[in-house]
């Protein structure tokens, strides 16, 4: 038989340290609620005036969801009867350039309005509007009575489930010029990846004042800087000069 274990008196046992106070678990959604309390404009699409639209303080390319829905419904309404395909509407809003779309592009000022988003996300928004009953059709998309009433202000506009970024109306003419430049380069140089979407978006967000500014943009190589830099800067400069010209030509109260 083995030896009996030595008995240890309770007083000789070293007390274990008190367990560390555990932080109470946060319920799901509490952190987001606190962030929204600190920044009430986040996640609600509420913003300040910027150019011609109501744009977010944190992102000049943000718009309230209902205004995005209006933009999409307007584009559908501007197409010729019996309508165009869902994929075509999404491509127009994304700023795609196709020879057989020129007549459609001429009908709307929303060409490229949703350029900062992927084609899939724009198509998903259109499908959501179909499911909600605001538009109908696939090969020929058109407004329903519900969609027309929302566009006319009779009914409330829907709020998209997915947040999307929007090119401000004041910057869209610059985007159009850059898109046409890219289309011309594709035809001349057969190089579709020369000016990527990410590069064009950076040109809108940080317009270059000189050729050297192009080097600071991600995805801009030496070929773009040396071969296209002067043309890109000229397009940007002329655009902003035209933007400033009306303000300079407007007579002041003193002059009148």
Is 62 found in the same domain as 126?
Answer: yes
243 vs 177: CA distance, rounded Å: 14
Q: Answer with the one of 120, 152, 184 that is the final residue of a domain.
A: 152
Query: Is residue 39 in some structural domain?
Result: no
Query: Is residue 83 in some structural domain?
Result: yes
Is 142 found in the same domain as 110?
Answer: yes
Backbone φ/ψ region at 126: left (φ over 0), alpha (ψ -120 to 50), beta:
alpha
Q: What is the DSSP string of 37-104?
A: HH-TTTTTT--EEETTEEE-SS-TTB--HHHHHHHHHHHHHTSPTT-B-HHHHHHHHTT---GGGHHH
Is 184 found in the same domain as 147?
Answer: no
Residues spanned by the domain of 60: 48-152
End-to-end CA distance of the chain: 118
Number of structural domains (the chain) is 2
The CATH number of whichever domain residue 82 belongs to comes to 1.10.10.10
Q: Half-sphere exposure of 135 toward its Cβ, with a 13 Å CA cutoff?
A: 31
- pLDDT tens track of the chain, all 256 residues? 555 555 544 444 334 444 444 545 544 445 444 443 443 333 333 222 223 333 333 456 888 889 999 999 999 999 999 999 999 999 999 999 888 999 999 999 999 999 999 999 999 999 999 999 999 987 899 999 999 999 999 999 999 988 899 999 999 999 999 999 999 888 887 666 778 999 999 999 999 999 999 999 999 988 899 989 999 999 999 999 988 876 555 544 444 4
Q: What is the dihedral of CA 208, 212, 214, 220, to 10 degrees?
A: 170
Is 192 found in the same domain as 143?
Answer: no
164 vs 185: CA distance, rounded Å: 29
Query: Is residue 10 in some structural domain?
Result: no
Q: Answer with the one of 152, 185, 216 that is the final residue of a domain.
A: 152
Write down the pTM of the prediction.
0.72
The H-or-E segment that residue 18 falls in is none
Query: Is residue 213 in some structural domain?
Result: yes
Q: What's the confidence (pLDDT) of residue 73?
A: 97
Is 76 found in the same domain as 128?
Answer: yes
């Amino acid at each position: 038989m083995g030896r009996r274990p030595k008995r240890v008196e309770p007083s000789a046992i070293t007390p274990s340290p008190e367990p560390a106070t555990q932080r109470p678990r946060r319920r799901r959604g509490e952190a987001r609620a606190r962030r929204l309390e600190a920044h009430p404009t986040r996640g609600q699409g509420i913003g300040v005036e910027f150019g011609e639209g109501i744009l977010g303080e944190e992102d000049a390319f943000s718009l309230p969801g209902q205004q995005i829905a209006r933009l999409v419904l307007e584009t559908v309404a501007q197409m010729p009867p019996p309508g165009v395909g869902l994929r075509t509407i999404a491509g127009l809003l994304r700023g795609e350039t196709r020879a057989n779309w020129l007549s459609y592009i001429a009908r709307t000022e929303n060409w490229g309005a949703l350029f900062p988003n992927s084609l899939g996300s724009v198509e998903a928004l259109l499908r959501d509007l179909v499911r909600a009953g605001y538009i109908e059709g696939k090969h020929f998309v058109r407004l329903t009575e519900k969609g027309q009433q929302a566009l006319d202000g009779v009914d409330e506009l829907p709020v998209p489930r997915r947040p999307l970024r929007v090119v401000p109306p004041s910057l869209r003419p610059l985007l159009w010029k850059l898109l046409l430049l890219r289309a011309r380069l594709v035809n001349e140089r057969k190089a579709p990846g020369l000016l990527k979407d990410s590069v064009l978006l950076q040109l809108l967000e940080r317009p270059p004042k000189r050729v050297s500014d192009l080097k600071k943009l991600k995805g801009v190589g030496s070929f773009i800087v040396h071969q296209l830099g002067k043309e890109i800067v000229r397009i940007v400069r002329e655009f902003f000069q035209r933007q400033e010209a009306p303000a300079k030509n407007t007579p002041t109260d003193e002059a009148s």
